[in-house]
Structure 1
Amino acid sequence: MKYYSYFPGCSAEATAVPLGLSILPVAQELEMELIELDDWSCCGSSPFNSVDKLDAACMAARNLALAEKAGLDLVTPCSNCYVTLHEANTHLKELPRLREQVNEALAAAGSGYQGKVRVRHLTEVLYNDI
């Protein structure tokens, strides 16, 4: 059994409900354990990302911090969420000032992000790991 943190994304619970409902049972059949992030929130994908880059980075980083706490790769089936989380993760690793600002905001909620999570799309996991 392979274990991953799972970020379903808003679409899996709104506009793509059948996809959201099918992923976990299929993953079980493939001996994948997708552990949904506890209390996840919107990743900050468009249109919010085009309005306020720092707030969008904070939204993504909150979810990255939840996955980091679990110590597992973060997997999402949503392409928008993948791009948003992956981009935020890359920027937080490469831009110290952004990481500092984001961690200030996360600290207010008792959290922080060190940049130890690998963000992956479900399709990539199926292709490379299964």
Structure 2
Amino acid sequence: MFVMLLVLLAAVAGAALVLRKSRGGSPKPPGTAGLDEETAARPEVDAASVAAARARVSEVVPDEVLSDALLDATPKQLAHLFAAVPEDVMAAAIGTGKGTPREQARPEDLAQLRGAGRAVDDLEIFSFGEKS
């Protein structure tokens, strides 16, 4: 009886493992942990992953952005991420939005800012008093 239960348990575990591997979906993203250095070589992003992400994400998102994001996320995760961003925010981030026109700074405002900048420059922020 015990042996039969053990065999049945092993069969169920094996079936679960096979199902999990067959449903695996997209491969794990390469990650950006090794890209801290400016001269680090960027890993190649799988073209199938870019195509899968492109099918799920708005056309306004450039392929370069998708490729960079696919270093840390799967196409499904990107679809959820970009779906959460409002259209006006996305348009402003990409530079296609109709931002509110800003009025130019007046000369007196600029003079006031320059004066504040000079006052900050004159501060002795690295002088914390004498050591005891």
- TM-score in terms of structure 1 length: 0.23
Which protein is bigger by CA-based radius of gyration?
Answer: 2
In proportion to residue count, which structure has more strand?
1
**Which gives a bigger RCO, structure 1 or 2 (Cα 8 Å, sep 6+)?**
1
